[in-house]
A and B are shown apart, each in its own frame.
Chain A
Amino acid sequence: MKRLIAGCLAFGLCASAWAAEEAYTIRATELKAKPYSDALTVLTLPARSKVIVLQRRSSWNQVKSGETTGWVKMLGLQLARGATDRRADNGLRSLFNVARSGGSGATVTTGVRGLSEEQLKNALPDPGALQALERYAADRRAAQRFAAQGKLQAQRVDYLAGGKK
């Protein structure tokens, strides 16, 4: 039983990063065995087919359609309404907890502050917060070191031309 609970917990943690989310195909879409255009087509899903998204790998989503698992182009899908709400619950819970345990007491939201149209129009400058922001800035070397830690390599890529307006 303990093992089962541990397994569920582990699964729960995985699911918080990559929760299975419901989506629909927005056009007829090929389900591929692997995330490559020239991979074997397992089946063709008609438009408006329901699938469960298991993970994303760049422009490909791994999905489950009925009992079949495969890969479809991400932009051939639309996530179902509310499919990502759980992510917000998970993410915000951790971020809210952080804010609460921060201990400065400075982050208590008053009715005056916020990002509504009215609040933006009446916003008063906060030079103290601007100074705090300054403390977090990264210089060139720190940014390069950070990129190297993540094995990020700078690439030469041209900007994309405008396309249709």
Chain B
Amino acid sequence: MKAIILMVALGLSVPAQAFDFGNIDLGKAVKTMQKIKQANAEVSEPQEIELGSGIASSLLGAAPLLDHPELQRYVNRIGRWIALQSERPDLPWHFGVLDDADINAFAAPGGYVFITKGLLARMNSEAELAGVLAHEISHVLRKHHLQALKKGARRELMADLANKAIKSKGGDKRLSKLVSAGTELYARGLDKEDEFESDRMGVVLAARAGYDPYGLPAVLQTLQSINPADSNLALMFKTHPGFDKRLELLGPLMSPALDDWERQPDLNQRFATLIGSGK
């Protein structure tokens, strides 16, 4: 019997009348196989971008953009330059500084990356900002949010999206539900392993972009010094592995592997001028 299911799965035609199926419902088996195939279907890039723009719009509903065009353009140039060194250089990348004192950064599928004013205010250099943006870019590159949605309560809707059962234009309610689920991920967090992976990729992307690769660990060290009772860190603590653990894992991986790129610039002056503290 297994052989028949296998043949069906492989798409070989099996004349139904040629076999005695006993209690096995061949139609059901075929449907099961189709379902598995559908569940594993990948969301296309345009669908990813549309879902991501919906999630980004909701995030902007929670925290507005900082009204500082010069700084917004600055962050976009850094982000885009880093993304150009990645395996997805031509996504429609967007970067934004959120006008919120909370200390955090976010990514959404399709190339959306946000950093809060509260986190930016703790930084010392462009290399530190680059390290954080590169960590978030890595979530997009590895499609961590899409993977989380595929594993979550809305996995069937994700399959519908991938199989084009959801019409993208025209306000399909199922797409709104996916957008809500995607936004809620910011309150729940990704797998710890996804965070560690983005740390590992982030420091390399920063090095590829010509920055001192130690910007990200320097930021983690800064965050480690903030009183854990600080309410601005509550969401970060809830949704990310501890800073100690992240630094403990990164340190030995970075040296000696990235020693050759240690002397790259951190552009602390350009950063200070933009933030305003250097004026």
Contacts and interface: CB of A to CB of B under 8 A. Distances in A.
Interface of B is mostly: helix
- Size class of the contact patch on chain B: 35 or more
Given A95-B68, A126-B61, A132-B65, A156 B121 contact: no
A17 interface: yes
A142 B80 contact: yes
B98 to A, nearest CB: 8
B65 A92 contact: no
A154 B209 contact: yes
B121 A99 contact: no
Given A130-B53, A157-B208, A146 B81 contact: yes
Contacts of A161: 253
Interface stretch (B13-21, B40-48, B266-274): B266-274
Contacts of A160: 200-201, 203-204, 253-254, 257-258
A104 B124 contact: no
Q: Which of B65, B227, B263 has the most chain A CB within a 10 Å cutoff?
A: B65
B152 interface: no
Interface in B191-206: 193, 196-197, 200-201, 203-204
Given A13-B278, A74-B214, A58 B263 contact: yes
Contact of B210 (A109, A114, A155): A155
B225 A84 contact: yes
Interface string A48-92: 000000001011000000000000001101111111110110111
B100 A114 contact: yes
B77 A142 contact: yes
A147 B78 CA distance: 8
Nearest to A56: B218
A84 B99 contact: no
A5 interface: no
Q: Which of A18, A79, A84 has the most chain B CB within a 10 Å cutoff?
A: A84
Contact of A140 (B57, B80, B180, B278): B80
Given A113-B64, A133-B96, A146-B78, A163 B210 contact: no
Q: Which of B59, B116, B212, B247 has the most chain A CB within a 10 Å cutoff?
A: B59
Interface in A94-112: 94-95, 97-99, 102-104, 106-107, 109
Given A56-B218, A74-B214, A95 B117 contact: yes
Given A94-B277, A153-B210, A157-B261, A165 B193 contact: yes
Interface stretch (B31-39, B143-151, B153-161, B182-190): B182-190
B202 to A, nearest CB: 10
B43 to A, nearest CB: 20
Contacts of B65: 129, 132-133
A130 B57 contact: yes
A158 interface: yes
B60 A126 contact: yes
A127 B208 CA distance: 34
Interface string B77-95: 1111100110001001111
Nearest to B90: A140
21 contacts: A74-B217, A75-B217, A75-B221, A84-B122, A88-B121, A92-B101, A92-B117, A99-B67, A106-B64, A113-B63, A115-B98, A115-B104, A117-B187, A121-B187, A124-B61, A125-B60, A130-B56, A133-B56, A140-B89, A155-B208, A160-B257
